[in-house]
Structure formats: structure tokens, C-alpha cells
């Protein structure tokens, strides 16, 4: 069905990000004295620089939408039973999140600087060598020029690491072939890539590119933070430091645990829990197509992630604290307890 388009769409997103990123890199300078103004220069002076920056920034949002949809498809239809493909997919998710994080620091706005400061400081929770580790990552005693130059380098490099990971992901997928909504063996029903999947993927490309250009042209700042229009200033802390929308659910989980190391572990395991899903598969059926109880739990997970995303963007005040804590418990409870239980009941 249409939800199988997100794999090829992710390939398109990666190519789009690399192309627009290479062109941005031709005019960007990764120094704290010129970084922010080089972005302004791209926007105002470089031919179609505004459009390239638009596409790159909003392209990141579409990249992550496609990843979340691809994971959702994997969870719903039991595609995770292709364990190698699935686990490399989790690694790709982590790589994309790292790329997006360091990429957000690059424009050196207020949220770039302070978001970078908050998240890199989380590494100080590592026992014994935490502070040394953070200073090693920073290249100094705070987020400063050393941090910016290397984060730009990491951002550029990681894009190609993702490309390599994608090749390995596809290598394993092509050993088995794709899953399907029925969750059944489809060896006897295979059809050629061209014209069936070439045109299907092309339709998906057209729809996504339409969405991306519409967002970029009609509402380019819809998902952005206004603080990033102010140059990064270590002496002025924004009242509400928050990451981009796609990280807010993890941010909500992080802040729900009133312990620094606990919060960091919660954030880490909110992603790593995906690697445990194939091990906890209890149902005799592969996907959720004929499993109404677990379907309800799946949509509960979707609703819970939306709630956690909302909470991650709210101040840490009542009743947002308790909602975030219940949401976090529900998130892990669904993966580790409720969904395996649902599968067992349905058997």
C-alpha cells in the first residue's frame, strides 16, 4: 500500500538534503563571527539562496516525517521481523537524529547555541569521565568556535555515513524482499519494479515534493523557532529552550525524569526500545491487520507520542509535569508490556 512508499521517499529526502546542503556549504562559513551573517547573506544575496535554505531546513522536517512513518509501518505490519534490516534502520534513525542535531547548531542562532548547550551537557551524566567527555566534544570549556567548526564538519560527514548505512539497509532488505499488509509470504506474487513500483514511487515523489515546496514557499517558518532569527549569544539565555518539533517527544521524556542521568537514559532508551520490539513479538500473526486489540494499542502509541511532543514544548509546570510523566510511562509500557500482552491475548 501507500505506506510502503516511505522507504524510497527517504532516499529522495537524503538526495535533496545532500544537494541543497552542498550548495549551502558553498557560501556558509563555520566561524562564530561570520556563521549567522553568512546564512543571512545566503538568504538575501545568493541566487535562489533563500529557496535552497528553505528546502534544506524544511526538508529536514520531511525527512523525519518520512522516518517516523517508515518506523510506524514497520511496527504496524510486523516488518521488524526482518531483524537485520530493522536494526540497521534504528542505527539510521540515530544517525539522522545526530545529523539533524548538529545541523541545527550550524546557523548559530540563539536556539542553535542554547539547544546545542543543553543537549551536549547531557553527556556530563556519563559516570567518572562525563565532564571531560563534554569538553572533548565541545573543543573547549563551553559551546564556542571549536564546537561550531566541528559540528559543521560532522553534519557534512554524517550525511554520507547515512548514505552508506542506507546501502547496507537495502542490502539486507533485498535478501528477503518487502513485507506486505497481509503479513504473508509473497514469493508467488512478485511483480517487476518497472513499471509498477517505478510509477508508484514517482507518484510518491511528486506528492512529497509538492508538500515540501508548498511548505517552503507558503509557510516556511511554520515549524521553526523565532529565537533562531537572533544571533547566538552566550550571555542571554532564551526563556524557553526547546529543540525542533521532531525531538520534542524525547525532550518530554527526558524532562519527565527528575534525575539527570535518569533523564538521559530515558531519552536514549526511547529510541533503543525499538531494537527490543522483534524480541517481544508474541503474536502468531505478523502484522496488526487482523488484530483489533493491538491496533487500538498502536493508535494509543501514536496519540501518546503526540502528547509527549506537545509536552516537550511546554514549560515545566503543573499539569504538564504529571502529563509528561504518565505519557512517558505509557510510552515504555506500550512497547515492553501492553503490546506483547495484546499479542498473547489475541492468540
Partner 1 sequence: MGRHFGDLAKIRHVITYSISPFEQRAFPNYFSKGIPNVWRRFKSSVFKVAPPMILMYLTYTWGNHVHEQGKRKNPADYEKDQ
**Positions marked catalytic:** 174, 178, 200-201, 244
Residue 194 as a binder of partner 1 (CB under 8 A): the answer is: no
Distance of CA 126 to CAs 38, 70, 78, 134, 315, Å?
35, 32, 35, 9, 26
* Least Å from the CB of residue 317 to partner 1: 7
Q: Give CA torsion, residues 145, 148, 151, 157, to 10 deg.
A: -90
Q: Interface with partner 1 by CB under 8 A: which range of 81-89, 122-130, 156-164, 291-299?
A: 291-299
Instruction: Residue count of the chain, please give it.
Output: 347
Residue 44 as a binder of partner 1 (CB under 8 A): the answer is: no
Q: Interface with partner 1 by CB under 8 A: which range of 20-28, 78-86, 249-257, 304-312?
A: 304-312
Residue 239 as a binder of partner 1 (CB under 8 A): the answer is: no
* Least Å from the CB of residue 245 to partner 1: 15
Q: What letter would DSSP give residue 197?
A: I
Contact set for partner 1, span 308-327 (CB under 8 A): 310, 314, 317-320, 323
Residue 184 as a binder of partner 1 (CB under 8 A): the answer is: no
Residue 177 as a binder of partner 1 (CB under 8 A): the answer is: yes
Q: Interface with partner 1 by CB under 8 A: which range of 7-15, 19-27, 172-180, 274-282?
A: 172-180
The HSE-up count of residue 313 (CA atoms within 13 Å, CB side) is 13
Q: Give the bridge partners for 231, in sequence order.
A: 109
Q: Interface with partner 1 by CB under 8 A: which range of 11-19, 237-245, 274-282, 300-308?
A: 300-308
* Least Å from the CB of residue 331 to partner 1: 13
Residue 182 as a binder of partner 1 (CB under 8 A): the answer is: no
> Cis before residue 319, ω within 30 degrees of 0?
yes
Residue 337 as a binder of partner 1 (CB under 8 A): the answer is: no
Q: How many residues bind partner 1 (CB under 8 A)?
A: 26
**Which residues contact residue 2 at a Cβ distance below 8 angstroms, ignoring those fewer than 6 apart?**
204
Q: Give the bridge partners for 109, in sequence order.
A: 231
DSSP string, 306-320: HHHHHHHTS-S-TTH
Q: Give the bridge partners for 339, in sequence order.
A: none
Judged by CB under 8 A, which of 1, 44, 190, 279 binds partner 1? 190
Residue 240 as a binder of partner 1 (CB under 8 A): the answer is: no
Window 117-156: contact mask with partner 1 (x via CB under 8 A):
----------------------------------------
> Cis before residue 132, ω within 30 degrees of 0?
no
Nine cell digits for residue 230: 537572533
The nearer residue to partner 1, 48 or 290, going by C-beta atoms, is: 290
Nine cell digits for residue 66: 518520512
The nearer residue to partner 1, 141 or 187, going by C-beta atoms, is: 187
Give the SS3 label for residue 107.
Answer: coil
Judged by CB under 8 A, which of 31, 45, 131, 175 binds partner 1? 175
**Which residues contact residue 19 at a Cβ distance below 8 angstroms, ignoring those fewer than 6 apart?**
none
d(CA 59, CA 12): 10
* Least Å from the CB of residue 226 to partner 1: 21
Judged by CB under 8 A, which of 163, 164, 195, 292 binds partner 1? 292
d(CA 255, CA 323): 11
The nearer residue to partner 1, 146 or 313, going by C-beta atoms, is: 313
Give the SS3 label for residue 109.
Answer: strand
d(CA 337, CA 277): 11
Q: Is 169 annotated as a binding residue?
A: yes
Q: Which residues bind partner 1 (CB under 8 A)?
A: 171, 174-175, 177, 185, 187-188, 190, 192, 292, 295-296, 299-300, 302-304, 306-307, 310, 314, 317-320, 323
Binding-site residues? 56, 155, 169, 174
Amino acid at each position: 500500500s501507500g505506506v510502503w512508499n516511505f522507504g524510497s521517499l527517504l532516499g529522495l529526502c537524503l538526495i535533496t538534503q545532500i544537494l541543497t546542503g552542498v550548495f549551502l556549504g558553498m557560501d556558509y562559513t563555520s566561524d562564530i563571527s561570520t556563521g549567522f551573517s553568512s546564512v543571512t547573506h545566503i538568504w538575501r544575496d545568493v541566487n535562489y539562496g533563500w529557496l535552497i535554505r528553505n528546502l534544506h531546513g524544511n526538508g529536514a522536517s520531511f525527512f523525519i516525517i518520512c522516518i517516523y512513518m517508515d518506523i510506524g509501518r514497520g511496527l504496524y505490519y510486523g516488518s521488524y521481523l526482518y531483524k537485520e534490516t530493522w536494526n540497521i534502520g534504528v542505527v539510521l534513525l540515530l544517525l539522522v537524529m545526530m545529523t539533524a542535531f548538529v545541523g541545527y547548531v550550524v546557523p548559530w542562532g540563539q536556539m542553535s547555541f542554547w539547544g546545542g548547550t543543553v543537549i551536549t551537557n547531557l553527556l556530563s551524566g556519563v559516570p567518572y569521565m562525563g565532564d571531560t567527555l563534554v569538553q572533548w566534544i565541545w573543543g573547549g570549556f563551553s559551546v564556542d568556535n571549536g564546537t561550531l567548526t566541528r559540528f559543521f564538519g560532522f553534519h557534512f560527514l554524517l550525511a554520507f555515513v547515512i548514505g552508506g548505512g542506507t546501502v547496507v539497509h537495502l542490502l539486507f532488505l533485498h535478501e528477503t524482499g518487502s513485507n506486505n499488509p497481509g503479513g504473508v509470504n509473497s514469493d508467488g506474487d512478485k511483480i517487476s519494479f518497472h513499471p509498477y513500483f517505478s510509477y508508484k514511487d514517482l507518484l510518491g515523489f511528486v506528492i512529497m515534493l509538492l508538500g515540501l515546496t508548498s511548505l517552503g514557499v507558503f509557510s516556511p517558518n511554520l515549524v521553526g523557532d523565532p529565537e533562531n532569527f537572533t544571533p547566538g549569544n552566550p550571555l542571554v539565555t532564551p526563556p524557553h529552550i526547546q529543540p525542533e518539533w521532531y525531538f520534542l517527544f524525547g525532550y518530554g521524556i527526558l524532562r519527565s525524569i527528575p534525575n539527570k542521568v535518569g533523564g538521559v537514559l530515558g531519552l536514549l532508551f526511547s529510541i533503543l526500545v525499538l531494537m527490543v520490539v522483534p524480541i517481544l513479538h508474541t503474536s502468531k500473526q505478523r502484522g496488526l491487520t487482523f488484530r483489533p486489540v493491538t491496533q487500538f494499542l498502536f493508535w494509543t502509541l501514536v496519540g501518546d507520542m503526540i502528547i509527549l511532543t506537545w509536552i516537550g514544548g511546554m514549560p515545566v509546570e503543573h499539569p504538564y509535569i504529571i502529563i509528561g510523566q504518565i505519557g512517558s510511562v505509557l510510552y515504555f509500557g506500550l512497547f515492553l508490556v501492553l503490546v506483547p500482552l495484546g499479542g498473547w491475548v489475541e492468540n
